[in-house]
Structure 1
Amino acid sequence: MYKQPVRQPGASSGTRCAIYTRKSHEEGLEQEFNSLDAQREACEAYITSQRHEGWEILPGYYDDGGISGATMDRPALQRLLADIAAGRIDVVVVYKVDRLTRALADFARIVDIFDAAKVSFVSVTQAFNTTTSMGRLTLNVLLSFAQFEREVTAERIRDKIAASKKKGMWMGGNLPLGYDSEDRKLVINNTEAETVRHIFRRYVELGSVARLRDELEAEGIVSKIRISAKGLKKGGAPFTRGALYHLLKNEIYRGKITHKGTSYPGEHLPVVDQNLWNEVQAQLTENRVERRSGNRIKSSNLLTGLLFDGAGHRLTPSHSNKKGQRYRYYVSRTLISGPREARDRGRRLPARGIETLVTDRLYRYFGDEAAILGTGAADIRDLASQQQFLGKIRHLRESWSKLELAKIRQILLLLIDRVEVFEDHVDIRIDRNALPMVDREGGPIRKEKGVGKAADIEILHIPAKLKRTGMEMRMLVDGATARDSAQKPDRSLVRLLAQAKMFQERALQNETCTIGQLAKEAGVSDSYFTRILRLNYLAPDIVRAILTGAQPPELTARKLVSASRLPLLWQDQLRLFSVI
């Protein structure tokens, strides 16, 4: 029934037998006497019956519980094969052939390993001899039936899952944020459900998954914490863009169960109402169309085609990537393709700085109703029409911070003839005749460019000086004009400062508590609690800039929270966050 193995020098004179057992499912493994024990007992009895042949049981256990026979990635099987390769085993004993594998291809690989090590193979319930061609044929037939049985079982499971999902039943897997599992059914977790609704609402307001991710990370909102059957903790990490896209498109949250692209009414209750769901899906679709058409990429550079230096040379968009971070610039053509001697006169402006300067000034311009009535509304004679026109401008100003980049880009193209950057100031040339068309749906995107006639142009003057730092030019704007005094502060940054104060108060009121206890009480991680607590030691100038909205564009909530080390010296903090 087995072939005599080639014995290594110094090895035992007996035939060393290793018992391999396997069970596909974990169910029942917790019992005192389970399927693995039953298999081993049968194999031990068989080896005992062959004691007169010199068979002896090796003390090691090769048990794979809860692992399918369709894979070779099994810990005990890999240990068995390693011991075979090391010459420690003469015979492998199993209860049935399919305990070793259920795939013909895998079995062929295992047999090659057995043959190379001169190891025999025995199944105690199926009599065959692997040393003969007939024995191998018998074994292959048995394995073919085992593979067929596995495939039929898999088809039955798939059919059962499909039928169950059509009835709206949740079939397991990772629990989605917002739900717990009770009796294998989804039950709403009220605390997490409110977090899910907050994510949906904020996406509608922000219109961007990237901005939503940054805000959630700044607020300390993390993914669902899951504990595996082995007690391993998973989740509790900041959301990635991919995870947020999956969450926003997950139909479980509207009370549906999906199967192969089709949705069915679920047995569980929805977390978000249908109206909010529809708004989110519409926004996702709109963003997807913009990405495919290229509009979103083009609109990210707000001043493309509008920006010129004092000599009338156009500045074009450019970018660089450093350590995975993308930096945008507006660059003079001479720096790209001009002669070497002309490059010293070229401009290289950080895109966000000049874009913020222009959009902030335009925002202030919308608030100057006297100037607007003297320009764009000059042809509007009756009082009622003037008030209607001003109402549209007020609405535009109020919604300015919520507008998509593509819409802001459209407004800039319509209103601005060109933006000219000089050594000591920036001029924004506004087309007087275009202002009444700002709120008109489907209005012209842009007339033919060129300097307009003096009578048609309103110049918005911004005192500013260019300062060269390395290869780029930075703009130092006079304090009074750097930002509009009425500009709204960044809510995510202000929220971080408020959270820092709250964490500090908790720490002072509970002096005996550890950071871990305080973080758990606040519902955040230890690391996040510590990082937010440090913000209480920010330089007063940084706090003042955040509260007034005067911080540099580069100072985002994500950057503030992710700063691994906050310098103790205020001057070092100012340099770190570019607050000058």
Structure 2
Amino acid sequence: MNRAKIRCAIYTRKSSDEGLEQDFNSLDAQREACSAYIRSQAALGWVELAERYDDGGFSGGTLDRPALKRLLADVAAGHIDIILVYKVDRLSRSLFDFAKLVETFEKAEASFASITQALNTTSSMGRLTLNMLLSFAQFEREITAERIRDKLAASKAKGMWMGGVSPLGYRPEGRSLVVIEEHAALVRHVFARYLALGSVRQLESELKHSGTVAPKRVTGSGKPMGGVPFTRGMLYLMLRRVVYTGRIAHRDKIHPGNHPAIVDNETFDRVQAMLTEHRQGQSRTRKERPSLLAGKIIDQERQPLIATHATKTASNGKTVPYRYYVSEKLHHKRSDSGTRMPARDLEALVAGRIATLFDDPLELVAGARLDVPADRYADLQQRCAELAARQRRRQADALSMLRQVQVSDGRVEVICCSEAIATALGVSVQPGQPTTLAINTAVRLTRTGRAMRLVEGSGLAPSATPDISLVRLVMLARRWWQELRQGTMDITRLAEREKVSATYLTRVVRLAFLSPEVTEAILAGKQRAGVTGKMLTASGAVDPCWTKQAGALLPLT
């Protein structure tokens, strides 16, 4: 009597890829043993399928294995009756995963057998025994993982380098790291420039413009890396790595390392404090920004200006606060005349003018009559860069050298204390020299929308912040132009879809042809004061000549 054929598929697996390059490897040995078992069951109609299901170098703790996926697909298609493995743990080391596999086999009316353990899933006793064996296999895997984690923690507690891609500036040597001095100098430069600039974005831009790229290296596995510009992600990772201080981090603990430091602890701590201070997305309690010039600002009659504020309701219904510095007599309504200056613009102007002092250390030394030893000039340059960055962020403590601000028609005079400048730089003032340093700036007041703005003589607002509505208009112009140039949409249909007039759409699309210089200025908020979306979409407002655009829309140089 002819028996029905029982189609048998053999599945083999090896956790590592070690030895797989040999002519006869572990996968071949498993397959040969399973083939012999199938031949022994030939009287029952067992037939070996030619398709191979081999997973070399894949862990049994996951089902994400290519050959196993093919096997499950063929089982679901009804092409396989029995799945054979050398041992149960070749199929899976996870009890949960194994239960899912057995359920899949049962739905397809397929069974499972282990040739060295005389087990199969055709009976309840076989399934019980398999579950017991898999429980021990999973336990063994978890114990091994715990041992590895404990060994890693103990080794790091002793200051050992436990492998992985070595940080820039080091190369691995045994269980320690050795400094590559050329790369270490670049690491120190990155830390120093971040402290000076106070912004990872600006640091990325500076490195890119200077042509500085990550040095080419080769990992322990032979994989090349480096040779590309630094990204913000790379810089954040570098600035946060405690390994540069000669220490080893493991989870929330930091241990003394066996390798030398590249960055001193004081510099590293200052960088961490600055990164934390500038972190975005963290919850903050809202508070009013202090009036930085309160008590230090006077008008042309040498009368003090009072810090005050007003609120206005925007078109979206939200209340918008506006801060001002107002002449005392005008504030108390003792006179109808007096000075009224927008606080944000004035503070940005003062902070920016003080920052320019520190942009040129040699000019500052001459102007403030500072006494600087010859061996301090290198340190002076770095300190000046840090103070300039702090001024531009308008930090209150950074304005400590400001003595007085005097505003009048068309002029702002910023008076700084030479002694305070010298103290901030860690030097002294030459004896018998003036105690103050004055900076004069031409300004004017202009109205932008509903607000009064302070404008420098060049036409640039001191607080150069992007006009969101203007930026959106430029982006809209480019999007509309992209649709029109594809030829699938004309102006009339596009205007109907966007619910605007064809004339207005045409005036907006012209903004897609602004010169790159003007576009960059708008995105950075550095266009000439008074340049608004309404002004740019007026009839004939944008000249097609890029040179004339710059003359009309950019600040004077």
Supply the distance in 2 between the matched residues of 1:141 and 1:297 (Cα, whole angstroms): 62
Secondary structure of 2:112's match? strand
- Unaligned 5+ segments in structure 2 are 299-304, 315-319, 325-339, 360-365, 373-379, 425-437, 463-514, 528-543
Q: Which residue of 2 aligns with 1:8?
A: none
Secondary structure of 1:139's match? helix
Q: Compute the displacement of 1:71 (Å).
A: 1.7
Which amino acid is the alignment partner of residue 547 of structure 2?
Q
Alignment match of 1:571 (pick from 541, 547, 551)? 547
Q: Which residue of 2 aligns with 1:478?
A: 457
Alignment match of 1:218 (pick from 198, 209, 214)? 209
Q: Which residue of 1 aligns with 2:188?
A: 197
TM-score by length of 2: 0.59
Is 1:282 paired with 2:282?
no
Q: Compute the displacement of 1:199 (Å).
A: 1.5
Q: Compute the displacement of 1:280 (Å).
A: 2.2
Supply the distance in 2 between the matched residues of 1:119 and 1:575 (Cα, whole angstroms): 80
Supply the distance in 1 between the matched residues of 2:195 and 2:265 (Cα, whole angstroms): 10
Contact 1:305/1:316 (<8 A) preserved: no
Q: Compute the displacement of 1:20 (Å).
A: 1.8
User: Cα–Cα, structure 1 residues 191 and 165, in superposed 2: closer, same or farther, change >3 Å?
Assistant: same
- Unaligned 5+ segments in structure 1 are 1-11, 321-328, 334-346, 368-386, 443-457, 484-538, 547-551, 556-567
Is 1:121 paired with 2:112?
yes
Alignment match of 1:244 (pick from 213, 216, 235)? 235
Contact 2:15/2:59 (<8 A) preserved: yes
Identity %, equivalent residues? 43
User: Cα–Cα, structure 1 residues 184 and 45, in superposed 2: closer, same or farther, change >3 Å?
Assistant: farther
Contact 1:426/1:462 (<8 A) preserved: yes
Which amino acid is the alignment partner of residue 109 of structure 2?
K
Secondary structure of 1:106's match? helix
Which amino acid is the alignment partner of residue 403 of structure 1?
R
Which amino acid is the alignment partner of residue 141 of structure 1?
M
Contact 2:412/2:441 (<8 A) preserved: yes
Q: Compute the displacement of 1:300 (Å).
A: 11
The more displaced of 66-75 and 175-184 is: 175-184
Which amino acid is the alignment partner of residue 478 of structure 1?
G
Alignment match of 1:93 (pick from 84, 108, 121)? 84
Q: Which residue of 2 aligns with 1:358?
A: 350
User: Cα–Cα, structure 1 residues 361 and 482, in superposed 2: closer, same or farther, change >3 Å?
Assistant: farther
Contact 1:186/1:268 (<8 A) preserved: yes
Q: Which residue of 1 aligns with 2:103?
A: 112
Supply the distance in 2 between the matched residues of 1:30 and 1:48 (Cα, whole angstroms): 28
Q: Compute the displacement of 1:17 (Å).
A: 2.3
Secondary structure of 2:165's match? coil
Supply the distance in 2 between the matched residues of 1:209 and 1:173 (Cα, whole angstroms): 25
Q: Which residue of 2 aligns with 1:529?
A: none
Is 1:463 paired with 2:455?
no
Secondary structure of 1:403's match? helix
Structure with higher RCO (Cα < 8 A, 6+ apart): 1
Supply the distance in 2 between the matched residues of 1:27 and 1:261 (Cα, whole angstroms): 35
Which amino acid is the alignment partner of residue 186 of structure 2?
T
User: Cα–Cα, structure 1 residues 302 and 354, in superposed 2: closer, same or farther, change >3 Å?
Assistant: same
Q: Compute the displacement of 1:65 (Å).
A: 2.4
Q: Which residue of 1 aligns with 2:163?
A: 172
Supply the distance in 2 between the matched residues of 1:317 and 1:441 (Cα, whole angstroms): 40
C-alpha deviations, 1:539-580, integer Å up to 9, x for none? 9x99xxx9xxxxx8859xxxxxxxxxxxx9863995999565
Contact 1:21/1:64 (<8 A) preserved: yes
Supply the distance in 2 between the matched residues of 1:66 and 1:301 (Cα, whole angstroms): 65
The more displaced of 223-232 and 459-468 is: 223-232
C-alpha deviations, 1:390-423, integer Å up to 9, x for none? 7599x99966525355675345588588897x9x
User: Cα–Cα, structure 1 residues 409 and 299, in superposed 2: closer, same or farther, change >3 Å?
Assistant: farther
Map 1:101-500 → 2, pairs under 5 A = 101-181=92-172, 186-222=177-213, 238-241=229-232, 243-270=234-261, 272-273=262-263, 276-285=264-273, 288=276, 357-362=349-354, 391=370, 400-403=387-390, 408-410=395-397, 412=399, 415=402, 425=410, 427=412, 462-464=442-444, 466=446, 468=448, 477-479=456-458
Supply the distance in 1 between the matched residues of 2:145 and 2:452 (Cα, whole angstroms): 65
Q: Compute the displacement of 1:68 (Å).
A: 1.8
Supply the distance in 1 between the matched residues of 2:421 and 2:439 (Cα, whole angstroms): 21
Supply the distance in 2 between the matched residues of 1:236 and 1:64 (Cα, whole angstroms): 36
Supply the distance in 1 between the matched residues of 2:406 and 2:69 (Cα, whole angstroms): 69
The more displaced of 42-51 and 209-218 is: 209-218
Which amino acid is the alignment partner of residue 166 of structure 2?
L
Which amino acid is the alignment partner of residue 90 of structure 1?
D
Supply the distance in 2 between the matched residues of 1:150 and 1:39 (Cα, whole angstroms): 21
C-alpha deviations, 1:10-38, integer Å up to 9, x for none? xx963332222222223333333332222
Supply the distance in 2 between the matched residues of 1:350 and 1:17 (Cα, whole angstroms): 83
Which amino acid is the alignment partner of residue 156 of structure 1?
R
Q: Compute the displacement of 1:134 (Å).
A: 0.8
Q: Which residue of 2 aligns with 1:325?
A: none
Secondary structure of 2:163's match? coil
Contact 2:249/2:255 (<8 A) preserved: yes
Contact 1:307/1:316 (<8 A) preserved: no
